Structure 1
Amino acid sequence: MTDKRYIALSTEVARHYQAGGADANGQIPERKTSAGGSMPCRHCLSDIAAGEDYLVLAHRPFTAAQPYAELGPIFLHAKRCARYALEDRVPEMFRGWDRLMLRGYGADDRIVYGTGTVVAAAEIETAADEILAHPEVRYVHARSAKNNCYQCRIEQAD
């Protein structure tokens, strides 16, 4: 297996949303209280616990709008949380999941066709290695297999 980084939403972007900044649709994030379950915060890459306030908002995990720059809902702790720091490890929250969707993107932020796959959570590292080995792929998105929601970005370590 190659060395990889599992990259969470940046702290700058998280603080923007937590401060009430507009999301990718130009709307203020909605504030809710978690009932528990699978509610992954994209900044700390851990589940939002029952009773904790969280934000639901539209996010585009790309630098610019273009046809392949998908926009979708994400969850985020309403109060400040520490950014996921163990980038060289698969986030623990994924280990409890059944499946994830992985998809490779090129340097132009376009999907590299033929790289999308749904894998068992236990196979994330191997599947990400296979996708990252494709010469056109620069990074991988990990997404929910059921709802296609963006989770994090996976890159080869420097």
Structure 2
Amino acid sequence: MPLRYQPMPSDLAARYRRREPDAYGLTPELHVSDGHGMPCRHCLANIAEGDGYLILAYSPFPELQPYAETGPIFLHADQCEAYIGGEAVPPILTTSKDYLLRGYRADDRIVYGTGAVIPVTGIDVRASELLEKPEVAYIHVRSARNNCYQCRIERA
């Protein structure tokens, strides 16, 4: 099944770069990258050493509800191009050996039984399997160790 890896929406990234409040109503924190382990959720690449970045609370859901998780993410402090790789596994998903994939319904509720930690080499296969289920509208990719949101996978 053709997949599409989706970054954080560009309009939302722009708001955070203007230092508008994050999901907790706080101003995003500005830092300088040491070049290790700071994946930008907009370009879906690691933030290079010396580049400014923001840490902020992010919820990839349209509204509050019991399944709308919020957590810390990194974002380039300066403009970066949104990830447009489409079907290719984004660079940020090659920095760890595995990730948590979890399916969600169209109403943004978790589809129970879909969550599993998957090796990087198996992400495409597992995502395709999940998206073959009619009740799964999209998938979140999260850190297997810290549960941090990475990106969203949809049917292409």
Q: Which bracket does the TM-score occupy, shorter chain normalised?
A: over 0.9
| TM-score, with length taken from structure 1 | 0.96
1:35 corresponds to which letter in structure 2? D
Kindly indicate whether the alpha-carbon contact (under 8 Å) linking 2:43 and 2:81 is maintained by their aligned counterparts in 1. Answer: yes
Aligned match of 1:23: 22
* Unaligned residue ranges in structure 1 (runs of 5+): none
TM-score (norm 2): 0.98
More moved, 46-55 vs 93-102:
93-102
Question: Quick one: distance in 1 between partners of 2:91 and 2:27?
Answer: 29
- Identity, % of aligned positions: 51
2:98 aligns with: 99
Aligned to 1:12: 11
Equivalent in the alignment of 1:67: 66
Matching of residue 87 in structure 1 with residue 90 in structure 2: no
Distance 2:71 2:129 in 1: 26
Instruction: Decide whether the 8 Å contact of 2:33 with 2:51 is kept in 1.
Output: yes
CA contact (8 A) 1:95 1:122 kept: no
Q: Following the alignment from structure 1 to structure 2, what is the Cα–Cα distance between the partners of residues 151 and 68?
A: 17
Aligned positions, number: 156
Q: Alignment partner of 1:112: what SS?
A: coil
1:127 and 2:129 aligned: no
- The residue number in structure 1 matching 2:144 is 145
Between the aligned partners of 2:18 and 2:54, the Cα distance in structure 1 is 11
* CA deviation profile, 1:55-91 (whole Å, cap 9, x unmatched): 0000110000000000001000000000001112110
**Which 4+ residue blocks in structure 1 deviate beyond 3 angstroms?**
none
Unpaired segments ≥5 residues, structure 2:
none
Q: Which amino acid in structure 2 is aligned with residue 112 of structure 1?
A: V
Deviations 1:1-30 (A, max 9, x none): x10100000110000000111000000000
Identify the residue that residue 34 of structure 1 maps to in structure 2.
33
